[in-house]
Amino acid sequence: MNTLAARGIVPEPIARQPWEMLIPLVLLTCFGGLVLYSAGGGAWQPFALSHFIRFGVFAIMTAVIASLPRDAVRLLTYPAYTAVLLLLLAVEVVGQVGGGSQRWLEFGPIRIQPSELMKPAVVLAMARFYETLPSGMIGSWRSVLPSGMLIVLPIGLVLLQPDLGTSIAIAFGGVVVMFLAGLPLWWFLTAGGLGVAAIPFIYFFALHDYQRARVTTFLDPESDPLGAGYHIAQSKIAIGSGGIFGKGFNNGTQSHLNYLPEPHTDFVFATMAEEWGLMGGLFVLAMYALILKWGWKVASESRDRFCALLAAGATATIFFYIAINLLMVMGMAPAKGIPLPWMSHGGSSMMTNMICIGLLMMVNRWNREAPRRGLSL
C-alpha cells in the first residue's frame, strides 16, 4: 500500500487505510449478504438487504470511532463504562417492572442490547486501568481487585438477564486483557484449575434446565435427535452434505426446507457451507484469519500499554464470537446463541464487532501518527 502511495497513484488518505483488514472485512460481509440472500429464499428481503444497510450504518460509526483523539478516549473510557453499566442496570429495572426478563432497552425505533456494548466497554476500561496501574503493582492484589470488579459487575448483571453466553464473552475479553497485562501466570493456572473443579457444581446448581440440556446434548447428540440435539445434528448434516464445492448458490435444501434452524443467524455458517462447500468454509476462515492477524499486528505495533491492551482485547472479543460460533455449528461446543461476525443477520453483534474494528482502526491510526518508539514509556 505504501508503495502505491509512494508512487502517487493512490491518494494518501485512501492508501493509508488498513486495506489488509478492510478488504477481507468487506468481502466477508458481501459473502455473508449472499448467504443471507439465499437463506431468505433467494431474495433481498428480509435478511440480505438489512444486513448491508446495517453494515453501511455501522461502517460510519466505525469511521467515527476510528477518528477519535487519544486524549478524549482516555478521558471518556470510565464514563462510557459507567454509562453502559447503568444501561445494564436499567435493563434489570425495566425487566423487573415490566415483569419477566429481557435483554434490551428500547429507545424509539432503536433497540439496544447493553450487554453487547459492554464487551468493548470492559476491554476499554481494563486497558485504561492497567495503563494507569504502576508497573510495580503488577502481581499485587491492587492489580487484580479493581479490574476484577470491572469484570464482575457487568457479568453479574448480564447473568441476571440471564445470558450465560454474553457473560462468558465479557469475561473472556477481560481475562485476556488481564493475562496480557502481565499478571502472574500461576494465578491463571490456579483459577483455571479451580474452574475445572467447579464444573460439576456449576452444572448441577447454577445452570438452568435449558442450559443443562444444551450441555448434555453436546456431550451426547444422539440422546435427543428431535429435541435439543436436532439443531446441531441438522447443522452437521448441512455442512457435511455440502462436500468440497457445495450444492450451489440457492440450492441448499437443509436451509430452504427449514431443516436447519436459524439458518440466517446462529447457523449461517452451516447455510453457507451447504451451498459453497469446503471451499466457502476455508474462504471464510481465511478472511477471519486475515482480520485477526491484522488485529494482533495493530496490538504489537502499539506504542503504549493502553493501545496494546485495547487492541488485543478487541481482537480477542472478535475471536471469541467466531470461535464459539464455528465450534458450535460443527458440533464441537454446546449450542448457544452466539452469532457469527459479519455474516449472521442481526444488529447487536454487528455493532459490537464494528465497535471493536473501530477501536482497532483508531489504535492503528494513533500508531501511524506516533509510531512506537523503542523503549519509551
Partner 1 sequence: MKIPFLQNGPQKPAKMISASILRSTFDRRSVVIGAVQGGIGVLLALRLGYLSVAENEKYRLESESNRVNLTLIPPRRGWILDRNGAPLASNRADFRVDLIPERLVNAEATIDKLGELLSLEPARIADIKDKVSTARGFQPVEVASGLRYEQFAALSVRLPDLPGVVPQRGFSRFYPTASSVGHLIGYVGPASSEEYEKDPNPLLITPGYKIGKDGLEKQFEKELRGIPGARRVEVTAGGRIVRDLETREDVQGQPVKLTIDGPLQDYAARRIGLESGSVVVMDCRTGDLLCMASMPSFDPNSFSDGIGGVEYAMLRDDERVPLRNKVLKGLYPPGSTVKPMVSMALMQAGIDPDETVNCGGGLRVGNRVFGCWNRRGHGATNMAKAIYQSCDVYFYAMAQRIGMQPIADMARRCGMGQEFPLPVVSQFFGTVPDPAWKMKKWGREWQTFDTVNATIGQGYMLANPIQLAVMASRLAMGKHVMPRLTLDTQPKGFDEIDFPLEQVQYVRKAMSDVVNGPGTAGRARLPIPDVLIAGKTGTAQVVSLSISNGKSGPWKYRDHGLFIFFAPYDNPRYAGAVVIEHGGGSGAAYPIARDVMTFLFDPAKGLEALAALEAGWGGTAQQRLERRYAAYAAERGATVSRPPRRDEEIFDRVEAEARRAATQSDAIAGEVIAPRPEANPSGTPPGAPAAPATAPTAPPSPAPSAPAVENPQ
Chain residues binding partner 1 by CB under 8 A are: 135-142, 144, 176, 179-182, 184, 186-187, 234, 236-244, 253-254, 257-259, 273-274, 277-278, 281-282, 285, 288-289, 292, 296, 299-300, 305, 308-309, 312, 316, 319, 323, 326-327, 330, 332, 375, 377
Helices 229-242 & 209-219, crossing angle to 10 degrees?
A: 40
Determine the Cα–Cα distance for residues 278 and 246; give it in Å rounded to an integer: 7
> Which amino acid is it at 337?
G
Q: For the CB of residue 288, give the shortest distance to partner 1 in the complex, in Å.
A: 7
Q: Is the dihedral of CA 270, 272, 274, 276 positive or negative?
A: negative
Residue with cell 435449558: 210
Q: For the CB of residue 100, give the shortest distance to partner 1 in the complex, in Å.
A: 25
Max CA-CA distance within the chain? 65
CB-wise, 36 or 308, nearer to partner 1? 308
Determine the Cα–Cα distance for residues 307 and 301; give it in Å rounded to an integer: 9
Q: For the CB of residue 78, give the shortest distance to partner 1 in the complex, in Å.
A: 21
Q: For the CB of residue 274, give the shortest distance to partner 1 in the complex, in Å.
A: 8
Determine the Cα–Cα distance for residues 161 and 27; give it in Å rounded to an integer: 35
CB-wise, 59 or 327, nearer to partner 1? 327
Q: For the CB of residue 261, give the shortest distance to partner 1 in the complex, in Å.
A: 9
Q: Where are the beta strands (DSSP E) in 156-232?
A: none
CB-wise, 19 or 296, nearer to partner 1? 296
Three-state DSSP class for 75?
Answer: helix
Closest by CA to 60, choosing from 358, 372, 364, is 358
CB-wise, 111 or 142, nearer to partner 1? 142
CB-wise, 114 or 120, nearer to partner 1? 120
CB-wise, 36 or 127, nearer to partner 1? 127
Q: For the CB of residue 85, give the shortest distance to partner 1 in the complex, in Å.
A: 26
Determine the Cα–Cα distance for residues 358 and 58; give it in Å rounded to an integer: 9
Three-state DSSP class for 112?
Answer: strand
Task: State the Cα angle at 169 between 273 and 280, rounded to 5°.
Answer: 15
CB-wise, 141 or 201, nearer to partner 1? 141
Q: For the CB of residue 128, give the shortest distance to partner 1 in the complex, in Å.
A: 15
